[in-house]
Structure 1
């Protein structure tokens, strides 16, 4: 009996060692101007956002690991569309804050730093959101927005986020401060 327990324990350990949660990889996205550290191989989706009678290109790279979805969204505005960036960013943020029944002033946020590809440190802010309960599941999110100019005077708007869905509510700020989540945010590097 003890020997069988040892074999089962060894198998469980080996399976956990192969867990996708441990499969961290750097993903280079030169077309979107960034590199990111994902906990698994992300899926990539390209789409076009209708905005003010225009089609704005957006790319989403995301991976689901257990109860979490790690994602990076990149919206590309051309030089001619660059003036749309502040209002588009405000709308994107407002949609997410609205789902959490907060606004930018009342959302739980902390000052943070990100590092560009050339190692420059830049100030940003992370937000910790808890969405209204559906009764069966609870959702919370850590999200960061970064806006960067492109060499041709266009603009990138990046949204880096982790969405956690589980049966029980978690304190978003405490939960998303764990190393696995911090690594994802700390290792996102725009050009």
Structure 2
């Protein structure tokens, strides 16, 4: 009997020692109009962007797990600022794409779908970027941009991304298709 108890105790200890590095949790962000599945508790930062002589609120929720940063950036535009959406989105995309020396048309991408909070499925694109660096750290990223109409007839611009700051074992598209990354993208649910 004592021997069986020792075996059970040893197994229990081994199971607690093997806890996974990813602690998936649903994060509700009603102010930003989405829910998402993060692999840990994200930090939340807010700031105001100065764009075309206007102040625009931006929120970033992000968590770092080993070599990866999972993040969701939300820019909220009022209905009076709706005309800024195309140029602002172009600038956001351009900043990342220029760092990877690609354009929107030449970047490695895949057509995909995302699901809204009311279960509607909408087409979008995911981009897979590789950043060349002069240092020892290689970086790659999967990123998705989504624009949605906000309840006040304003607009939300979302940037959902995972930045990997270490050499990837395989090409970026295959690497970011692993479950640890696809869960994050698949479970993002805007209103």
**Fold match by TM threshold 0.5:** yes
In the alignment, structure 1 residue 161 sits paired with structure 2 residue 141: no
SS in 2 for 1:185: helix
* 1:176 alignment partner in structure 2: 176
CA drift at 1:14: 2.8
* 2:115 alignment partner in structure 1: 115
* 1:137 alignment partner in structure 2: 137
SS in 1 for 2:93: helix
Q: Is the 8 A contact 1:138 1:166 kept in 2?
A: yes
Corresponding residue pairs, total: 183
CA–CA distance in 1 between the matches of 2:15 and 2:139? 29
* 2:16 alignment partner in structure 1: 14
User: What do residues 16-73 of structure 1 show as CA deviations (whole Å, max 9, x unaligned)?
Assistant: 31x441x100000000000000000000000011101111100000000011000000
CA drift at 1:152: 1.6
Q: Is the 8 A contact 1:137 1:168 kept in 2?
A: no
Q: Is the 8 A contact 2:82 2:155 kept in 1?
A: yes
* 1:32 alignment partner in structure 2: 32
Q: Is the 8 A contact 2:168 2:175 kept in 1?
A: no
Q: Is the 8 A contact 1:137 1:165 kept in 2?
A: yes
User: What do residues 51-110 of structure 1 show as CA deviations (whole Å, max 9, x unaligned)?
Assistant: 011111000000000110000000000011011001000000000000000000110000
**TM-score after normalising by structure 2:** 0.90
* 2:5 alignment partner in structure 1: none
Q: Is the 8 A contact 1:138 1:169 kept in 2?
A: no
* 1:98 alignment partner in structure 2: 98
Structure 1 residue runs of 5 or longer lacking an equivalent are: 1-6
In the alignment, structure 1 residue 125 sits paired with structure 2 residue 137: no
CA drift at 1:153: 1.1
CA–CA distance in 1 between the matches of 2:13 and 2:182? 30
**TM-score after normalising by structure 1:** 0.90
Structure 2 residue runs of 5 or longer lacking an equivalent are: 1-8
Highest Rg: 1 or 2? 2
CA–CA distance in 1 between the matches of 2:154 and 2:162? 27
Give the 3 Å change call, closer, same or farther, for CA 153–168 of structure 1 in structure 2.
closer
- Give the alignment of 1:5-84 within 5 angstroms: 14-17=16-19, 19-21=20-22, 23-84=23-84
